[in-house]
């Protein structure tokens, strides 16, 4: 069978099988983290501009935006998918080099609302979207990640699978939904190598395209079932012609949704091992910024390729500047939303620290990518000490996971400024009890 058919066959079997308590719990964690990313993203460009542009598509349809306005499923998925990626706080599945939540949850939620589905139906769609798309991302591998932004490309499959699951597509239509979704995949990494507002749209368009592909498949539209593995298919066009034969080997036994990374800082996740290492050294040796003569960060190549801005002048550049976020961590002790204000961007202490930071590729650390995201931080102090710290994983990775309490803290930190404390807490309680909801009522 073609990989689309393998995944379709699994989706059909998945519809008939109960989910374990553990998988459901991890699915709810993913949804809570999605909301944590959504709220700060609502105010980040291009989300306000997008919502203004789509005004003619609002106030009718079966789905709802977070502000309560009615929308079609595709429009809601587009806007929410964009917002959930805009603040750079969303989850990732490390081995697929991919932020699955933004598009997958947006698509599942939009279709579930439009169909008046249950909370359990919604969660099952989320799980299916994660399991299918992460496996496609793993097969495409590092060669795909050289030029393509997986959140836009692989995310389209996450959205299609999630929407297809909520729609109850059988194995054949589900495979065709994936086949059509493959022709919608897009998102170039060059879009965020300069100051740009385009990157969040990759997630939004992935959510919208996945919903459209699933809706079309439900109406009998077919795609090329060999679109992943064919001679001119996605595997050859966008990777190095990878082997698809084992894509279904662990489906149903190894749930990828239980091994997500939830961000513990704000910004590009490729910088987080360096942030963690710098903070660990500072704590261990009671360092102040004034004590530091120079800093060396050794990490994997994509961290330097993507978090590449050496002297950022805008919020977007700062989010993708390893030197800026490490400097911010050493000067201010954390990297939160406040790190990207105009005042912080111009902070003379941060600017001075940026000039003391040097970053290089470590071949051994690079060879372990994408399965491990490590950094070695070395600090030389003005009094002659040379201090070193190897950070093998990031806080929030499966090896160092956020506890439920830490995840709740992240959600409340990011949701409360938008909703207020009482409404944020009330929504959080709804999210923890989603599987018992007869109908999704997730407006704050």
pLDDT digits (tens, 9 = 90+) for 298-315: 999 999 999 999 999 999
pLDDT, position 444? 73
Task: Average the pLDDT over 385-403 and give the result.
Answer: 97
Average pLDDT in the 124-129 region? 98
Q: Per DSSP, what are the bridge partners of residue 297?
A: 359, 377
Q: Is 222 helix (H, G, I), strand (E, B) or coil?
A: coil
**How far, in Å, CA of 144 to CA of 135, rounded?**
13
Q: Can you give the pLDDT at residue 51?
A: 97
Comparing C-alpha atoms, which of 272, 213, 251, 332 is closest to residue 91? Answer: 272
Q: What is the mean pLDDT of residues 281-293?
A: 97
Give the helix/strand (H/E) hosting 154.
helix 150-167
Tens-digit pLDDT profile for residues 64-84: 999 999 999 999 999 999 999
Residues shown for the chain: 444
**Distance from C-alpha of 293 to C-alpha of 4, rounded to nearest angstrom:** 55
Backbone angles phi, psi at 308, to 5 degrees: -100, -10
Q: What is the pLDDT of residue 443?
A: 74
Query: Given pLDDT bands bounded at 50, 70 and 90, which one contains residue 390?
Result: very high
| Tokens 């100051």 sit on residue | 195
**Token pair for residue 221?**
């539209």
Mean pLDDT value across residues 229-253: 97
The confidence score (pLDDT) of residue 122 equals: 98
- Of 442 and 75, the structure prediction assigns the larger pLDDT to 75
- Between β-strands 357-361 and 292-299, what pairing exists: parallel, antiparallel or unpaired? parallel
Q: Is 269 a residue whose pLDDT tops 90? A: yes
State the pLDDT at residue 439: 86
In angstroms, the CA 206 to CA 184 distance is 8
| Cβ–Cβ < 8 Å for 365, 374 | yes
Q: In a 10 Å sphere around its CB, with 0-12 CB exposed, 13-18 middle and 19+ buried, how is residue 54 labelled?
A: middle
Instruction: Give the model's pLDDT for residue 257.
Output: 98
Looking at domain 269-391, its CATH superfamily turns out to be 2-methylcitrate dehydratase PrpD (3.30.1330.120)
Band the pLDDT of 88: cuts 50, 70, 90: very high
pLDDT at residue 442 in the model: 76
- The H-or-E segment that residue 138 falls in is helix 119-145
pLDDT at 140 over 80: yes
The answer to whether residues 158 and 184 touch, using CB atoms and an 8 Å cutoff, is: no
State the average pLDDT over residues 410-439.
Answer: 96
pLDDT averaged over every residue in the chain: 97
What lies within 8 Å, CB to CB, of 56 at 6+ separation is none
pLDDT tens string 326-385: 999 999 999 999 999 999 999 999 999 999 999 999 999 999 999 999 999 999 999 999
What pLDDT is recorded for position 440? 85
Could you give the CA distance from residue 149 to residue 238 in angstroms, rounded to a whole number? 11
Q: Which CATH class is domain 3-264+402-436?
A: mainly alpha
Q: How many CB atoms lie within 10 A of CB 146?
A: 13
pLDDT the model gives residue 285: 97
Please answer whether residues 187 and 145 qualify as being in contact, where contact means their C-beta atoms are separated by less than 8 angstroms: no
| Confidence (pLDDT) at 441 | 78
* Nearest-angstrom CA–CA distance, 399 and 131: 20
All structural domains of the chain with their residue ranges? 3-264+402-436, 269-391
| Cβ–Cβ under 8 Å, residues 88 and 202 | no
Beta carbons within 8 Å of 78's beta carbon, 6+ residues apart: 50, 54, 204, 205, 207, 208
């Amino acid at each position: 069978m073609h990989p689309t058919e393998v995944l379709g066959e699994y989706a059909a079997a998945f519809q008939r099988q109960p989910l374990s308590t553990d998988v459901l719990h991890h699915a709810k964690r993913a949804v809570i983290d999605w909301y944590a990313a959504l709220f700060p993203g609502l105010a980040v460009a291009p989300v306000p501009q997008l919502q203004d542009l789509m005004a003619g598509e609002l106030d009718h349809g079966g789905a709802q935006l977070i502000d309560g306005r009615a929308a079609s499923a595709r429009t809601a998925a587009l806007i929410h998918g964009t917002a959930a990626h805009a603040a750079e706080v969303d989850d990732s599945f490390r081995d697929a080099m991919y932020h699955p939540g933004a598009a997958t949850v947006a698509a599942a939620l939009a279709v579930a609302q439009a169909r008046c589905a249950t909370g359990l139906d919604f969660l099952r769609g989320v799980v299916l979207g994660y399991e299918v798309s992460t496996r496609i991302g793993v097969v495409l591998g590092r060669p795909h990640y050289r030029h393509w932004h997986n959140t836009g490309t692989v995310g389209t499959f996450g959205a299609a699978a999630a929407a297809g699951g909520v729609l109850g597509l059988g194995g054949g239509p589900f495979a065709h939904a994936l086949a059509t979704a493959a022709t919608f995949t897009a998102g170039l990494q060059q879009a965020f190598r300069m100051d740009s507002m385009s990157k969040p749209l990759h997630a939004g368009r992935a959510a919208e395209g996945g919903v459209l592909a699933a809706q079309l498949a439900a109406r009998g539209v077919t795609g090329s079932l060999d679109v992943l593995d064919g001679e001119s298919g996605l595997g050859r066009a966008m990777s190095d012609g990878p082997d698809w034969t084992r894509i279904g080997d662990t489906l149903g036994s190894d749930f990828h949704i239980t091994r997500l990374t939830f961000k513990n800082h704000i910004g590009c996740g490729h910088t987080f091992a360096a942030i963690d290492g710098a903070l660990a050294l500072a704590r261990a040796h009671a360092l102040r910024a004034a004590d530091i003569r120079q800093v060396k960060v050794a990490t994997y190549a994509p961290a330097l390729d993507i978090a590449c801005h050496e002297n950022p002048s805008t919020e977007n550049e700062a989010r993708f500047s390893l030197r800026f976020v490490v400097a911010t961590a050493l000067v201010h002790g954390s990297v939160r939303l406040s790190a990207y204000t105009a005042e912080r961007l111009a902070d003379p202490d941060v600017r001075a620290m940026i000039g003391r930071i040097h970053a290089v590729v470590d071949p051994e650390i690079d060879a372990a990518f994408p399965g491990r995201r490590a950094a070695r931080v070395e600090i030389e102090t003005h009094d002659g000490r040379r201090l070193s710290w190897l950070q093998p994983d990031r806080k929030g990775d499966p090896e160092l996971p956020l506890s439920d309490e830490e995840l709740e803290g992240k959600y409340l930190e990011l949701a409360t400024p938008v909703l207020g404390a009482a409404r944020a807490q009330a929504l959080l309680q709804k999210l923890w009890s989603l599987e018992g909801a007869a109908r999704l009522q997730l407006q704050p």
